[in-house]
């Protein structure tokens, strides 16, 4: 894995300690298939008692991690920025390679025969990487709201979910957001506005807030932050929950995966699911045979 020194640096004792803790945490999550963002790493430091919870500390950790990566002390692949990514075309060496890839990635809609249509919505772009690790396996669509969802995307969602409702399905949005004045209100906002655009099918929609909830806060004890007093919803929030708030980023990614999985499978008929999996595998086997025939030159 690439630890490449571009800018040599002599670190003081405190910085050496922080880099050591960072590498232990990052490698622990890498072994489990997770790459952390800087903010997730910061919350792991705070939760383990290595750093105080303060915005200035978060910025300081970012500076230390930047210097450590440039000095070759932290693996470049072990931290990621999920909001800025290169996009482009995928390329193939041969038709057989393309068909072989298609065979492995062939998927049918395993929810087509299910009585429910489920989507997973998350407040922050930065946590999409966690959903990337589980939602494709569950064959559910997922979406980053980026705070309060834009009018354009809410309208698209209303039209999309209406089509499922017209087919007789019950539609479910599982919402994951921060436990703060605005984050708590976003679940209500999604429900009200999507129903408006479902054109008479709004009663078929269920919006469930899967995280963060106060029961989870009490059970998981994520790192708290002060509630934002500048938020217009702060007064009502503080009256109900107190002066602390909690970010979804503070959850262990494994816990977020568990919450998403539990939320989705609750609405899944496993008998129909397994039957769909069998049909999907039959399609993959068929495509694999075509790839072998093309590679052997039988379709020249």
Rounded Cα gap, residues 123 and 131, in angstroms: 12
Give residue 61's pLDDT: 96
Query: Per DSSP, which regions of the chain are E strands?
Result: 116-122, 141-144, 170-176, 205-211, 224-226, 244-246
Rounded Cα gap, residues 133 and 136, in angstroms: 7
Give residue 38's pLDDT: 93
CA dihedral 70, 73, 79, 85 (to 10 degrees): 30
Any idea which fold 115-268 has?
A: Dna Topoisomerase Vi A Subunit; Chain: A, domain 2 (3.40.1360)
Q: Any idea where the domains of the chain sit in the sequence?
A: 13-78, 115-268
Give residue 249's pLDDT: 92
pTM score: 0.83
Rounded Cα gap, residues 257 and 29, in angstroms: 13
Residue identified by tokens 């997770």 is 34
Give residue 300's pLDDT: 61
* Sites in the chain below the pLDDT cut of 70: 1, 299-300
Are 48 and 222 in contact by the 8 Å Cβ rule? The answer is no
Give residue 99's pLDDT: 84
Give residue 294's pLDDT: 83
Give residue 100's pLDDT: 86
Residue identified by tokens 């906002």 is 189
Residue identified by tokens 């999409």 is 128
Residue 111 per-residue DSSP state: T
Give residue 6's pLDDT: 93
């Amino acid at each position: 894995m690439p630890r490449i020194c571009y800018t040599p640096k002599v670190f003081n004792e405190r910085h050496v300690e922080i880099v050591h803790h960072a590498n232990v945490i990052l490698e622990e999550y890498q072994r489990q298939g997770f790459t952390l963002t800087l903010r997730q790493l910061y919350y792991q430091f705070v939760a383990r008692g290595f750093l105080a919870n303060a915005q200035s500390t978060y910025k300081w950790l970012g500076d230390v991690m930047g210097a450590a990566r440039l000095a070759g002390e932290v693996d470049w692949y072990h931290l990621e920025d999920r909001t800025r990514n290169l996009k482009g075309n995928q390329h193939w060496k041969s038709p057989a390679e393309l068909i072989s890839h298609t065979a492995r990635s062939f998927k049918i809609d395993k929810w087509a025969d299910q009585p429910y249509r489920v989507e997973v919505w998350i407040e922050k772009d930065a946590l999409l990487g966690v959903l990337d690790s589980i939602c494709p396996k569950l064959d559910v669509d997922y979406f980053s709201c980026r705070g309060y969802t834009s009018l354009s995307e809410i309208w698209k969602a209303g039209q999309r979910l209406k089509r499922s409702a017209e087919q007789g399905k019950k539609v479910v949005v599982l919402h994951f957001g921060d436990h703060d004045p605005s984050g708590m209100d976003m679940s209500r906002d999604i429900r009200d506005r999507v129903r408006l655009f479902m054109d008479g099918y709004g009663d078929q929609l269920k919006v469930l807030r899967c995280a963060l909830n106060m029961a989870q806060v009490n059970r998981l004890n994520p790192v708290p932050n002060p509630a934002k007093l500048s938020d217009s919803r702060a007064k009502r929030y503080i009256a109900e929950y107190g002066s602390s708030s909690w970010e979804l980023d503070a959850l262990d990614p494994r816990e977020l995966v568990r919450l998403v999985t539990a939320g989705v499978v609750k609405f899944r008929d496993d008998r129909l699911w397994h039957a769909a999996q069998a049909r999907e595998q039959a399609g993959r086997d068929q495509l694999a045979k075509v790839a072998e025939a093309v590679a052997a030159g039988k379709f020249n």
